[in-house]
Amino acid sequence: MALATFVIFLSLFTMTNVFPQNKIPLIKASSEKVSIKDGAYCHVDWKLDPKANPDVYFVNIPTKESTVVFKTDQEELTVMTKPGAMYDFIVLLNGTDSCHIRINAQLPPDLPVLDQNDPFPMPIPFRLIGSRIFLNGTINKKNVAIQFDLGAGTGVVNRNNSKQLDLSFSSFTTVSNTDGVNSERTSLGNQLRIGSMVWKNVSMTEVGNMKSFEDLIIGNSFFRNHIIEIDYDKMELVIHRDLPTKAKEYTKLPIFYEQNRPKFKAVFIHNQRQFDFWFLFDTGRDGTMLLGEDFTSIGHNWDDLEPLTMISNRKIIRLNASIAGVEFKDIVTNAADPAKPNGRPSLFGNQILNHFNVILDNQEGFLYLKPNGRIKEPYSNYEGYLNQMSQSIQKN
């Protein structure tokens, strides 16, 4: 059956609850699996839930107008969104179940809110441990070491340190990380302070895959209303209200968000083939990159990757990558077997990313990169791999 298409223009909506009740659009579906295309780059798999009323989709970059296409196996609905507005419609599933959908062009209400009285920009000094960024702060007035991780979808606390921080846990959150997918305890109503910046009613979920010197991890969810600058030359994290004028000196890249985590497009060359793909901008990974099953499951990508060796069902491969016009040669990284998925997305880690000074514009959805003083520093490459293998052979 050919898909029927409906285009809903803004004149049909109010800025609050969308339509007069007798004008709410209805489209049909015979499968609970639907897809959402949000703007030029964001694609989301969605599952219809008749029990949710409404089932809310939050626009990827709500501060900008967007075109959101909601597509079932039978019909599709196109919604032209404006910042701050909400749009309701119904999907009739299998002719019996009404699924009430709301497209919300606002940030989700559960994001941490920055309580800021001091003027912007706000510079915060940081230090590097390995390749990762650490800040000093407090949680409920107790000193903590905080890792700033743009690859983190939520705020987390080290399970081994949560007791000494006197956190109380009253909820649970499903977490997907290197420990797999687990339901973890969550502490509500905390106060986080970094410099003069304060967040109230902060949720922290307990995880067990952190280093002993790490107390908390925070990510981009704490700054979705702001512009973030990471200056590795000055060792400063700077929070801006407006885009700094220096951004014109940087390379500008479009992004979209996956659970508040920015994804950007990069190029890599392997086995004389060029691949363009969207990667997580993961400042919390102390490594070069990863090819997840979101890449290896496409077409013949997994079969076309030629491994140097295999380790735990992963191919160890050699490639060249290009980010914002800067080439990184002979990267040695691993690729996930799509037949054994673990939910890890393709990403670049901070062993590569900290070669750039960074401006992340959460308001407009752009990433600005400029090579910094670390541009010639080493990363995990083929020469290092050969030395490591040689040492391993000598030990055996």
Domain ranges of the chain: 4-104, 113-225, 243-395
| Residue pLDDT, tens place only, 128-168 | 999 999 999 999 999 999 999 999 988 999 999 998 999 99
pLDDT given for residue 9 in this prediction: 41
User: What tokens were used for 72?
Assistant: 């079932």
pLDDT given for residue 13 in this prediction: 36
Q: In the structure, what pLDDT confidence band is assigned to residue 384 with cuts at 50, 70 and 90?
A: confident
| Residue pLDDT, tens place only, 53-102 | 999 999 999 999 999 999 999 999 999 999 999 999 999 999 999 999 99
Lowest mean pLDDT among 34-38, 177-181, 369-373: 177-181
Long-range pairs for 302-311 at CB < 8 Å and ≥24 separation?
Answer: 302/335, 302/337, 302/338, 304/271, 304/273, 305/270, 305/271, 305/335, 306/270, 306/271, 307/335, 308/332, 308/385
Average of per-residue pLDDT across 355-365: 97
Per-residue pLDDT at 223 exceeds 70: yes
The residue ranking higher by pLDDT, 209 or 21, is 209
10 Å Cβ neighbour count for 364? 12
CATH architecture under which domain 113-225 falls: Beta Barrel (2.40)
The residue ranking higher by pLDDT, 386 or 345, is 345
Question: How far is Cα 326 from Cα 371, in angstroms, rounded to an integer?
Answer: 8
pLDDT given for residue 392 in this prediction: 61
Instruction: Note whether 114 and 248 are within 8 A (CB).
Output: no
Question: How far is Cα 282 from Cα 213, in angstroms, rounded to an integer?
Answer: 20
| Residue pLDDT, tens place only, 280-331 | 999 999 999 999 999 999 999 999 999 999 998 899 999 999 999 999 999 9
Where do runs of H (alpha helix) occur along the chain? 293-296, 301-304, 350-353, 382-395
CATH architecture under which domain 243-395 falls: Beta Barrel (2.40)
Question: How far is Cα 305 from Cα 108, in angstroms, rounded to an integer?
Answer: 39
Long-range pairs for 126-130 at CB < 8 Å and ≥24 separation?
Answer: 126/235, 126/236, 126/237, 127/235, 128/232, 128/235, 128/354, 129/213, 130/286
Q: How many residues does the chain have?
A: 396
Q: In the structure, what pLDDT confidence band is assigned to residue 177 with cuts at 50, 70 and 90?
A: low
pLDDT given for residue 386 in this prediction: 80
Instruction: Note whether 77 and 67 are within 8 A (CB).
Output: no
pLDDT given for residue 159 in this prediction: 94
Q: In the structure, what pLDDT confidence band is assigned to residue 181 with cuts at 50, 70 and 90?
A: confident
CATH fold match for the domains 113-225 and 243-395: yes
pLDDT given for residue 11 in this prediction: 30
Strand pairing class (227-231; 156-158): unpaired
10 Å Cβ neighbour count for 289? 29
Portion of the chain with pLDDT greater than 70, in percent: 92
pLDDT given for residue 390 in this prediction: 62
Element (H, E) at 105: none
Q: Which residues does 330 contact at the CB level (< 8 Å), separation at least 6?
A: 318, 320, 381, 382, 383
Average of per-residue pLDDT across 4-9: 48
| Residue pLDDT, tens place only, 244-279 | 999 999 999 999 999 999 999 999 999 999 999 999
Identity of the amino acid at 390: S
pLDDT given for residue 1 in this prediction: 40
Instruction: Note whether 305 and 270 are within 8 A (CB).
Output: yes
Identity of the amino acid at 324: A
Q: In the structure, what pLDDT confidence band is assigned to residue 118 with cuts at 50, 70 and 90?
A: confident
**DSSP secondary structure, 251-304, as one string:** EEEEEEEETTEEEEEEEEEETTEEEEEEEEEETT-SSSEEE-HHHHTSTTHHHH
Mean pLDDT rounded to a whole number for the chain = 90
